[in-house]
Amino acid sequence: MSCTSFSFPSWLQNLPLVEAVALELPPPHLNDNTADWDRFVQALAGRGFSPIHVEPAFLGSFTQAIRRGELAVTAVLGWRGTAWEMLELLPGLHRGQPFRVLGASVDVGTTSLVFTVVDMVEGRILAETAVQNPQVPLGEDILTRILLARRETERSRLQHLLIEVFNDTFEDLSRRHGFSLQSLFALTVAGNTTMTHFLLGLDPTHICREPYIPAVNRFPVYHARDLDLALPPLALVHVFPNVGSYFGGDLIAGIVAAGMHRSKDICLLVDVGTNAEVVLGNREWLIACAGAAGPALEGGVVERGMMAAPGAIDRVRIDLDTLEPTYHVIGGERPKGLCGSGLIDLVAEMFAAGILTPQGKIDTSLPSPRILLNGADGTLYVVTSADETADGLDLCISDIDIGIFLKSKAAMYTILSVITRKVGVSFEELQRICIAGTFGNHIDAAMAVRIGMIPDLPLEVYEGVGNTAGQGAAMLLLDRSLLRDMGEICDRITYVELNVNMELMNEFRGALFLPHTDRRLFPSVRLRGETATS
Amino acid sequence: MSCTSFSFPSWLQNLPLVEAVALELPPPHLNDNTADWDRFVQALAGRGFSPIHVEPAFLGSFTQAIRRGELAVTAVLGWRGTAWEMLELLPGLHRGQPFRVLGASVDVGTTSLVFTVVDMVEGRILAETAVQNPQVPLGEDILTRILLARRETERSRLQHLLIEVFNDTFEDLSRRHGFSLQSLFALTVAGNTTMTHFLLGLDPTHICREPYIPAVNRFPVYHARDLDLALPPLALVHVFPNVGSYFGGDLIAGIVAAGMHRSKDICLLVDVGTNAEVVLGNREWLIACAGAAGPALEGGVVERGMMAAPGAIDRVRIDLDTLEPTYHVIGGERPKGLCGSGLIDLVAEMFAAGILTPQGKIDTSLPSPRILLNGADGTLYVVTSADETADGLDLCISDIDIGIFLKSKAAMYTILSVITRKVGVSFEELQRICIAGTFGNHIDAAMAVRIGMIPDLPLEVYEGVGNTAGQGAAMLLLDRSLLRDMGEICDRITYVELNVNMELMNEFRGALFLPHTDRRLFPSVRLRGETATS
């Protein structure tokens, strides 16, 4: 719950996606016999709300509200992008408590969902929570779920699991934070392409087959009732559009959150999830690519790797003389494993201390009891001994682990290198590099530079921006002008498929070293014993 | 069934409200990985269909149709006024039978409903029928039904009666004419304001109470499923807008059918129903009013009056010498009564023969066995003796009947006189006078002029235009540009409330005479014995 906290950027306009308007209609008389509804629509136009869209099935009850309120009514209007929709019409004038206009946003990730509830009148976050994706038991990785979804019953089951957890979470948040679900008039959803398809009950089958085609990239505006959500039936559901199978609405939301599309300066946004997704550009142009760089960086794959959760070592320092490590554990518990940032720290510090060679091998000639030669796993470095860990086993990192990790870090550097070269921008021209995700919040840029994972730039260029998908989705609730931005981003972004070619392979091979075979790329990084002038 | 037959005017454009488009999508590949739906929407834009609106709940099945058709699909698109809506998406290319694109129109009258089924591809009428309004048993007149509808259960019952008769009639027509209900992709409805409210389940309570305010004048576009109609769920339902409580969508449809709103010449449209409704204008301006002139003209009120149906005398001639009548009966049956046109003929011929004085009294001094003095009903003229009628009773008209009838004809002339004077147009400036309704089809203009019901103009100015409400509704199915016209007509029409003032009363009193107290208004009409030069 704590990790998703964020504040809204200052450039956000105060243009809520949903607005409540209390108004008294001028009374009809013989010379002004406009119909009730038409009179009301005219009054709304006078307040700047035009055109008005109304769901026909609700017209009868809405017109009765006008009479019940004796021509004094409170309208709840939601912005659809081209028209205002009448979401609710209450008799009488309502301003302030207990009448509230709230919205919710959800970042639908493969492994977890992050919910934010926003007060659209006060422009502030009311509640936040993260829950596990209920589909995980059906398939840890997304491919398993896509294959499962080929059967319509399973696809429907995968959808209902999500809808159920949405409803349960809304219910839970409403109880804990004292608001009514009937106040939630809008929902914004940012997810990767596959998760979005699952949520909307769309067939994701072709997403994972060449040429990798989603069913839908740009979604219509849904109503809560279309998805069986336990919100007001007409509550608007805006789903962030995809650009392609490997570039989903979560990244569009990320671009929005980082404000890249409105920035004069060239920005780079890096989101490390199952894939590493990278967007480069500014208000004039945007280019994006994705590549398999993620698992090791997120703490997966590596033997003792884990998510950034209680029990994970997220900070490591190694004494250059004694080669003894000190570390920090999330939640202050006994250590269970290493999360992404812990792993980066560990490798960077092992390299700085000379425990690791530029080739990524543990130097067995060093006199340390922590360096062990072990048949099966190759050479090991003991980070924590068995008597300190949660499971009573040594917490080690092996040559093999480091090899896997270096592939991930090399992939990351290669992606950044390739995408900047595609558009002829040098790393030095990047004024801002945003690192998104939990990973981005924990990573120590100095350490990541030291291992050659990210370019050797002034550290102030790097910014951990947190869960940008969730932020972008929440921002849309407060600034409806972003709805147009989302569409424009999709229109002008260029998605680059990273084909495995010789150039990429050469680039990658150089980046497998610590920090790189081409030392000129990392002037600030020195090997142990080198002097500042080398 | 026969009386509603009509042909479409030549100015109607071939722009069907619903269009079917068969297309093959360009196959996706790695360098063109647009999503299925987005690819499809792009292809439609290339064919001129943009923007596309899709009901979110149908997106899943629509995208599956694209894959099932292996990128060859047939889309059925309906025009909403600002966007095309995807009504149906079929895998594969469908052109011609058995795949059809049909639409239905309904004129919802207080006493009867007229249905027309149109083939929107071939631009022709497929089927027509008229049925009694199923609400009649709950209240012959509309006021009774409005009072009933104050209770929500009764309002719902009145709505369901209409929906039921819609569904039964569609079912019946589909069986008799060999089409599938699933081919009916659009429904256009023209009705008076109250009937439209009943159909849509809206509260009509305030329509009959000063200041006479409908719940809604301009309706959103409905889907068949909103109204529980047994058509494809997304079949579009366009309801003609009202201008006010006494000026409904039936009249807007009438203006459209008469083409008044596109005419350079000044036209006058007269629709005689329960009220007489009159519209005057051209493509630059339109003015309308309504008044209680109807019942007697429609055959109601008068003792032996009846609707224009089998058994009704609709034509009468009286021999000037013998004072003996000859007549025509609808359906060739024994006469049951007199319909509106029969009544006009009868009064005009009695007047020409001198049986009626200019004051509307039967001249008892004439030597005719058909003129009877009867205590209770005043003086009588026997149109048909008992041995010829259906009920074995003399079919007579009394002084009292004639008095009632003259009030109606005077009201009609007064309305025409007042509305033309309002805008400073003389009768001579009217290039075209359209008389709508069953009444308009039967009326003999020469007779109506003779009694001073309508202005003394060249007879070719008068045109019986039939059921213009039904025609206008059917025309919309074939020419979607009329959708904009309907809105524009509502925007610019001026509705004049006919207040009972002295001027109107003087006007009315003069018009109670045959043809009028001011004989200069009817130069072509001569009293018996007058010479042509008088």
Q: Say which residue, A409 or A76, is predicted with more confidence.
A: A76
**Do B40 and B110 sit in the same domain of this protein?**
no
Residue A4 has what pLDDT?
43
pLDDT at B294 over 70: no
Please give the share of chain B, as a percent, with pLDDT higher than 70: 95
Give the integer Cα–Cα distance in Å for A110 and A136: 8
Consecutive H or E run containing A470: helix A468-478
Residue A502 has what pLDDT?
63
Q: Which of A143, A57, A513 is nearest to B222 (CA)?
A: A57
**Do A123 and A229 sit in the same domain of this protein?**
yes
User: Which pLDDT tens digit goes with each residue over B126-157?
Assistant: 999 999 999 999 998 899 999 999 999 999 99
User: Which pLDDT tens digit goes with each residue over A312-369?
Assistant: 999 999 999 999 999 999 999 999 999 889 999 999 999 999 999 999 999 999 989 9
Residue B492 has what pLDDT?
94
The widest CA-to-CA distance across chain A, in whole angstroms, is 102
Of B36, B202, B245, the CB nearest to A215: B36
Give the integer Cα–Cα distance in Å for A214 and A235: 26
> At B219, which CATH number?
3.30.420.480
Residue B2 has what pLDDT?
38
What average pLDDT does the structure give for chain B?
Answer: 92
Residue A529 lies in a domain: no
Residue A13 lies in a domain: no
Residue type for position B346? L
Give the integer Cα–Cα distance in Å for A507 and B156: 73
**Do A73 and A118 sit in the same domain of this protein?**
no
**Do A357 and A430 sit in the same domain of this protein?**
no
Residue B189 lies in a domain: yes
Residue A532 has what pLDDT?
53
The widest CA-to-CA distance across chain B, in whole angstroms, is 102
**Do A393 and A303 sit in the same domain of this protein?**
yes
Question: Could you say which of B205, B222, B239 is where a domain stops?
Answer: B239
DSSP state of A513: S
> At B80, which CATH number?
3.10.20.880
Question: Could you say which of B66, B91, B116 is where a domain stops?
Answer: B91
Residue B1 lies in a domain: no
Size of interface A-B (CB pairs under 8 A): 130
Residue A375 has what pLDDT?
67
User: Which pLDDT tens digit goes with each residue over A470-502?
Assistant: 999 999 999 999 999 999 999 999 988 776 566
Contact A188, A256 (CB under 8 A): no
**Do B165 and B271 sit in the same domain of this protein?**
no
- pTM reported for the whole predicted model: 0.92
CB contact under 8 A, B60 and A223: no
Total length of chain B = 534
Residue type for position A240? F
Contacts of B38 in chain A (CB under 8 A): 216-218
pLDDT at B513 over 90: yes
Give the integer Cα–Cα distance in Å for A427 and A413: 11
CB contact under 8 A, A220 and B56: yes
Confidence class of residue B300 from pLDDT cuts 50, 70 and 90? low
Give the integer Cα–Cα distance in Å for A288 and A494: 6
Question: Could you say which of A202, A223, A239 is where a domain stops?
Answer: A239
CB contact under 8 A, A216 and B497: no
User: Which pLDDT tens digit goes with each residue over B387-413?
Assistant: 999 999 999 999 989 998 898 899 889
Contact A86, A62 (CB under 8 A): yes
As a whole number, mean pLDDT of residues B194-201 equals 98
**Do B83 and B139 sit in the same domain of this protein?**
no
Residue B274 has what pLDDT?
66
Residue A9 lies in a domain: no
**Do B228 and B317 sit in the same domain of this protein?**
no
Residue B4 has what pLDDT?
43
As a whole number, mean pLDDT of residues A255-263 equals 96
CB contact under 8 A, B60 and A221: no
To test the contact with chain B by mutation, choose from A216, A496, A500 the residue with the greatest count of B C-beta atoms within 10 A, namely A216
The CA-atom distances, in angstroms, between B253 and each of B131, B258, B271, B289, B348 are 20, 9, 12, 16, 32
**Do A82 and A185 sit in the same domain of this protein?**
no
- Lowest-confidence pick of B36-50, B84-98, B447-461: B84-98
Of A30, A54, A203, the CB nearest to B63: A203
Q: With a cut of 0.85, is the ipTM above it?
A: yes
Residue B453: which residues within 8 A CB-CB, separation 6 or more?
B344, B409, B412, B413
Residue A234 lies in a domain: yes
Enter the tokens of residue B175.
């069986």
Consecutive H or E run containing B131: strand B124-132
User: Which pLDDT tens digit goes with each residue over A170-208?
Assistant: 999 999 999 999 999 999 999 999 999 999 999 999 998
Question: What is the count of structural domains for chain B?
Answer: 3
Give the integer Cα–Cα distance in Å for A339 and A33: 70
Give the integer Cα–Cα distance in Å for B186 and A55: 18
**Do B454 and B317 sit in the same domain of this protein?**
yes
**Do B23 and B71 sit in the same domain of this protein?**
yes
Q: Which of A431, A424, A422 is nearest to A455 (CA)?
A: A431
Confidence class of residue A376 from pLDDT cuts 50, 70 and 90? confident
Q: Which residues are bridge partners to B371 per DSSP?
A: B381
Residue A250 lies in a domain: no
Q: Which of A288, A296, A292, A303 is nearest to A249 (CA)?
A: A288
Provide the b/e sequence for A327-362 (b: ≥16 CB within 10 Å): bebbeeeebbbbbbbbbbbbbbbbbbbbbbeeebeb
**Do B352 and B409 sit in the same domain of this protein?**
yes
Q: What is the chain B residue with the closest CA to A227?
A: B57
Q: Among all chains, which residue has been given the structure tokens 């849309």?
A: A476
Residue B30 has what pLDDT?
82
Give the integer Cα–Cα distance in Å for B145 and B124: 36
Residue A246 lies in a domain: no
Q: Which domain holds residue B365?
A: 264-515
